[in-house]
Structure 1
């Protein structure tokens, strides 16, 4: 493989000193751009600060490179282009993610065009340098997601490997210098810092945190970064891509994206929003895996990656984020993309009907928490495709039946809310679950269908009892009767009267009744409440006053008051604790509420757009404190959280298209029709997680448990004691039903239960309410 000049070796064996090197980290999430081809290749790349940072291969869940940076070396010194950060970024069109970065200085211009080869697992970088400098490149491998155990070497090209993950860095012109080093000791940056140019020529480094450096002999040419499971394979792919040429790869790249985007039907209230809409659709597409089609990761980034070596990051598939991306793609007319996402849900569902909190693109779970909305969301996607008349993938009916079985058995409480922090009853989660029970009912057998609809009606009717408070200090402060809370803890922890542990706030707790969020917005988004409902309007008034912050980008919102997920006030990265910042996607949720109230959503769209990076990426969070230039933090601009965030781009795109159609895209006809008017539930269910303190008149009472039991009960002070054996219900719960007619004859129900393991050791009481007596009308 020798196409290098003969370098002088350093030391007898040319082994770079310093292993294992500095503790490895990922790159900052303050990114400019992401790109990938739409061919058979499996390479995804992100750009930040004018250079390449994480490169993913062979799936979107596997970052293999920390960064690939560029330096100019001249007689009078050297220029670190990443730190100089004086550059522009452009693309041929918003839906053609082929970035060209131009670095400029007083005496130089470096143009970099980044071209993922659609045919091979290779990234090409075309470069052209003008000025009295030579170009040096330093690459920091992080193969197999492991920065501790990489080995690098030079043999006709630059290589690194770790556990059958191999990269090859080479060029179409001779290399002036090449070396393998240890980060912080013998890497290329240390060489430049010590000597003003690249002088070292170590032929091997590691195992440890390694780096590769090379100096290019010509001012223009093409770099190739190839990936394979063997060194020979990576070298072959890289050299073959160079042989065919960057022009061929560029043409195939543009053709693939042009074909995909040819039917994107986007309104453009102004050029900025129109361009961001097209780019947002492309961002969603770029986050779909090629090795595992339908797997859409939340972000090709690791939040605050410069401070951590965590394996997961956001390059994992969250069912919620993937479904919301699918809805946005559907709104943009990309049915094939949404159908693949649904097909992956069919393939990755757990036996009991739920999906893991998140998973690698392969389907292997990463975090294993339970979030009820993440089981309900795929049902909504299936129902939306059916509503659009799209043929459903094989396996969807069984998928829906299993998912709704899990929702019916375990809801309305959830081990985690949508922010993955607390257990209890959350208005967002319950709204999604209710909509899924209604929209998914047509796939169920008749007995299950009736059960699902009755359950949805009950949860919908009881929602305010779980999640709405009145006459609290916060309500009085803002002059409202009440509001929807962010979350009600489990009954064992006090329900609405209990306290919520604030994650990321050093163990701080707060009364559930004092926490508000925009989570209630999905009650109107999904058609369960009308935006003019006084309870919705009062909550909106509180949220606007408590969570809204005016920034140079526009009005933005926090997740909830006293949030701790974000940078510290001094700008230090989030480290398990911090201060919650502003989320652009929540401006989208607020914009949907405005749209449903008959207002123009344009201010919310513009606020989101103004949060974008120079390359058009929408972040998870933006900074809201005083400007900290030394940390790159400015009010209303991206922080160190995930960027891009697929959820943010999906919310922007859906709001833009909803502004045109006049209705949220998640709003399903079946749900909207069912709850267009008040629908009293025929029965309420008593579960340990959601006990019934007082039963309204005219309802049956159903007592349920996941295991068999015998109900031991009596009336009005334990009179007329009876027993009833529970029977299996349609979704696997054991039930005893007491009819409304029998209940109407009493004021109080007392009961306890006997399980196979013995008595539960606790008595329960349900107050039985009666309809007011009708006044006699004189004749």
Structure 2
């Protein structure tokens, strides 16, 4: 019998706050998540393709009593060891205890659940599965069928099929009554909601958003298999049921024990050591099988219960990926880090940058361009080479192309690391400068010299572009000045740009703040990467500023907002972020603040303890924590996870790094060549660069002047209103930047230099004449 079709479909996802995530380390291509004490999104055959919304249970009798376990909210979760993602959950109710063990097969694309219902013998469990095959809720078909003499609940959509089978301890089929239906109309949950018991037994449903339900005995094992058809999925599921569940569980434990032996943990208090072990596993779980080295940002969809996004966080962000690889290097998991670098080399764009984010195969999702994402892979290559872990891998071409992009597009970024505004940002610039220095060690000749010259110039100009003094906000806070969140693009050519309005895009109402009143924690990267000392006056004043404006003290410890005016987070009433909201505290920023404390000579242990306290039920770190008064209706408590993504792999990477940095005595990811070049001291430059993006109006007397262009040209130049005019040819640096040095060191204060270009490839003159003033 066909289930009635739904008149309305709202294809949302499961709760974003995961209790645990897991996968096998065998040939299986399946990843599972757990939230609210049940199985939520499962990904197959790649980590960027979700196939279900959730698989949970209803416990009911025949007298109208029923309860859905995910809504019971009284459960405990445990693992055999912190680094082994085999999950046991115990749900408790006054009438029953329900225990379920969740474990993937090592060799088959199957997730197994062994459960036991104890207590009131009048109660029965009902499995409830909501499908999203291929990440699509619109075109799923579901049926109740037989597979080789056993009942099976199955669904398909396009090239994907799933099958849910059940087995008693005796090996016999465990299904009793079964039904499939359309979500919000004829699914099993609606049956219980309307009738208080199971009354429907539909054999087929869809196309659309469908759900599958089956009545079960008090104890059984479920196998959820995935394949290219329903039949192939059922074959895998049934095969797994003929393997002892304990043997599958033990195989999972052995595989993860073997991987973990290569991870060497530093000395830490026991609770932090457990969290460190779990964090390493979180990183490894998020790696794909097909695209070795590709790791997604999170197996969660932020505010999933309110989101219809097909992307979520199961995408690759280059920045997050390199942050993850840096943590793997710190743990000694070098082959995993090498795989990340190989994947990055394979997905670099022709012009040298990486996509803002992408599906595993390299197809773009969002369309932004972020300068730090062009720089991070260079730092990974340098870090691997620094610890002698390249194993013959050659990446000179990747590095050269990345530096080419940085040199041509920087110091401006199309988006900052929070993927919002364009301009000059301290975090982005710190990463770009470090990439130029580290990348120069892979080059030789003119390219190496120009990369270092550019790095020194940008480093010396940081304060000119991003530090403001004597603003009303500075006076209010009692500081001389501070680094701003982001300087508008035209700060490179217009000295009044810092007073311009910079749009904050994720708020209901833009606070209309000028650039010089927007602050962020991003400048801490200058200390972490060795561009500025921890006691630099500009750093100290900026630290006072963020600690006054962005820091929130929660019961878990201190946490920082990304920037003032941020709107990425729940609304004040606790409702989900919907494109606008109110920014919340980020645990990863507590880790970054801890790295600064380490550089300043403090023990970062309190910051590690704070991060550990901000975790969820299973010990996972969230993207954000709630930092206002508790709102019980939305399960929001101060210092604990909000409805954003959990786990955030970047946050776990930051925790791992801070653990190893504490043992090392300095940031474990501090680029070696960059530290050796600057040691935290702003360079004194004797060579000014004009172009390609930065066009200074004045240079210091006695300095050399290099004109840097994106194409070969004849530079026509003169002094003091075109006196002594002459022509000079540019030379190619090897980075698609063509330069010429103008001999102006003898010019005096107040004199001027004029120049324009004849573009050789276009055979035409530049239509603008430029002028630079010589100053003291």
Query: Does the 8 Å contact 1:354/1:406 carry over to 2?
Result: yes
SS in 2 for 1:277: helix
> Among residues 496, 503, 510, which one is paired with 2:498 in the alignment?
496
Cα offset for 1:713? 3.9
- Does the residue aligned with 2:416 lie in a helix, a strand or coil? coil
Aligned to 2:42: 55
Displacement after TM superposition at 1:757 (Å): 8.2
CA–CA distance in structure 2, aligned partners of residues 732 and 429 of structure 1? 22
Partner of 1:68: 55
Partner of 1:175: 175
Query: CA 1:761–1:506 in structure 2 vs 1: closer, same or farther (change >3 Å)?
Result: farther
Whole-angstrom CA distance in 1 between matches of 2:575 and 2:771: 52
Structure 2: unaligned runs, 5 residues or longer: 147-151, 168-172
CA distance in 2, matches of 1:692, 1:177: 77
Which residue of the partner structure matches residue 612 of structure 2? 609
The CA deviation at 1:63 is 0.8
Structure 1 residues 194, 506: closer, same or farther in 2, change over 3 A? closer
1:687 and 2:675 are equivalent in the alignment? no
- Per-residue CA deviation, residues 152-201 of structure 1 (Å, 9 max, x unaligned), is 11112111111111111111132111111000000000111122222211
Moved more, 363-372 or 297-306: 363-372
Partner of 2:19: 32
- Deviation per CA, 1:350-383: give whole Å up to 9, x if none: 1111111111122222223111111111111111
Moved more, 584-593 or 732-741: 732-741
Match of 1:520 among 520, 523, 531: 523
Aligned mates of 2:758, 2:346 — CA distance in 1: 40
Question: 1:697-776 to 2 correspondence within 5 Å?
Answer: 697-744=701-748, 747-753=751-757, 756=762, 761-770=767-776
Aligned counterparts of 2:140 and 2:766: Cα–Cα separation in 1 = 57
2:170 aligned residue: none
- What secondary structure sits across from 1:499 in the alignment? coil
Distance in 2, Cα, partners of 1:758 & 1:391 = 46
User: Does the alignment pair 1:635 with 2:651?
Assistant: no
CA-CA distance at 1:16 after TM superposition? 0.8
Partner of 2:209: 209
CA distance in 1, matches of 2:586, 2:608: 13
- Report the CA distance between 1:38 and its aligned residue: 1.0
| 2:129 counterpart residue number | 139
CA distance in 1, matches of 2:350, 2:76: 50
DSSP-derived class of the 1:212 partner = strand
Name the CA distance, whole Å, in 1 between partners of 2:392 and 2:347.
14
Residues 433-444 of structure 1 mapped to structure 2, 5 A cutoff: 433-444=432-443
The CA distance in 1 between the partners of 2:129 and 2:747, in whole Å, is 74
Q: Structure 1 pair 447/191, CA: closer, same or farther in 2 (3 Å)?
A: same
For 1:535 and 1:562, how far apart are their aligned partners in 2?
22
Give the match for residue 569 of structure 1.
Answer: 572
Secondary structure at the aligned position of 2:100 is classed as strand
Equivalent position of 1:6 in the other structure: none
Give the 3-state SS of the residue equivalent to 2:611 in structure 1. Answer: helix
Per the alignment, residue 83 of structure 2 pairs with: 95
Equivalent residues of 2:531, 2:682 under 8 A apart: no
Distance verdict in 2 for CA 1:225–1:22, change over 3 Å: same
> Structure 1: which 5+ runs fail to align?
1-13, 771-779
User: Matches of 1:623 and 1:293 in 2, distance apart?
Assistant: 35
Report Cα offsets for 1:558-584 as digits up to 9, x if no partner.
000000111111111111111111000
Task: Give RMSD over aligned pairs.
Answer: 1.8
1:655 shift after superposition: 0.7
Structure 1 CA distance for aligned equivalents of residues 712 and 268 of structure 2 = 59
- 2:713–2:729 CA contact under 8 A, matched in 1: yes
Deviates more, 1:671-680 or 1:131-140: 671-680
- Three-state SS of the structure 2 residue aligned to 1:766 is strand
1:351-366 maps to which residues of 2 (within 5 A)? 351-366=350-365
TM-score of the two chains, using structure 1 as the length reference: 0.94
Task: State the alpha-carbon separation in 2 of the partners of residues 568 and 258 from structure 1.
Answer: 42
* Alpha-carbon distance in 2 for matches of 1:345, 1:465: 33
**In structure 2, C-alpha distance between the alignment counterparts of 1:95 and 1:611, rounded to whole Å:** 19
Q: Deviations over 1:645-664 (max 9, x none)?
A: 00100101111111111011
Q: For 1:83, which of 66, 71, 81 is the aligned residue?
A: 71
The aligned length equals 756
Change over 3 Å in CA distance of 1:249–1:386 after alignment to 2: same
Distance 1:691 1:498 in 2: 19
Q: Which moved more, 1:727-736 or 1:450-459?
A: 727-736
**Deviation for aligned residue 1:506:** 4.2
Q: Hey, what's the Cα distance between the residues in 1 that align with 2:551 and 2:683?
A: 34
Shift of 1:726: 4.2
SS of the residue 2:745 aligns to: helix
> Partners of 2:392 and 2:455 in 1: how far apart?
26
CA shift digits 1:611-670 (9 cap, x unpaired): 100101100001112211111111111111111000100101111111111011111221
Q: What CA distance in whole angstroms lies between the structure 2 residues aligned with 1:215 and 1:137?
A: 7
Contact 2:15 2:36 in 1 (8 A): no
Distance, in Å, in 1 between the alignment partners of 2:190 and 2:475 is 61
Alpha-carbon contact 1:346-1:395 (below 8 Å) kept: no
Matches within 5 A, 1:187-206: 187-206=187-206
Residue 278 (structure 1) shift: 0.7
* Cα distance between partner residues in 2 of 1:697 and 1:249: 74
- Which residue of structure 1 aligns with residue 117 of structure 2? 129
Asked if residue 271 in structure 1 is aligned to residue 270 in structure 2, the reply is yes
| Partners of 1:287 and 1:299 within 8 A in 2 | yes
Q: Which is worse superposed, 355-364 or 697-706?
A: 697-706
Q: How does 1:411-560 map to 2 (within 5 A)?
A: 411-491=410-490, 495-506=497-508, 508=510, 509-560=512-563
The correspondence of residues 282-361 of structure 1 with structure 2, limited to 5 A, is 282-361=281-360
CA offsets 1:700-729 (integer angstroms, 9 cap, x no match): 222233244554544334544445454443
Q: C-alpha separation between the residues in 2 aligned to 1:745 and 1:195?
A: 89
Deviations 1:103-145 (A, max 9, x none): 1111211100001111110000010111221110111100111
* Residues 638-677 of structure 1: pairs in structure 2 closer than 5 A: 638-676=641-679, 677=681
CA distance in 1, matches of 2:439, 2:165: 53
| Residue 582 of structure 2 corresponds to residue 579 of structure 1 | yes
Secondary structure class of the residue paired with 1:477: helix
Q: Secondary structure at the match of 2:513?
A: strand
Write the distance in 2 (CA, Å) between the matches of 1:65 and 1:698. 67
CA distance in 2, matches of 1:30, 1:723: 64
CA distance in 2, matches of 1:441, 1:719: 38
- How far did residue 94 of structure 1 move? 0.7
The SS at the match of 2:51 is strand
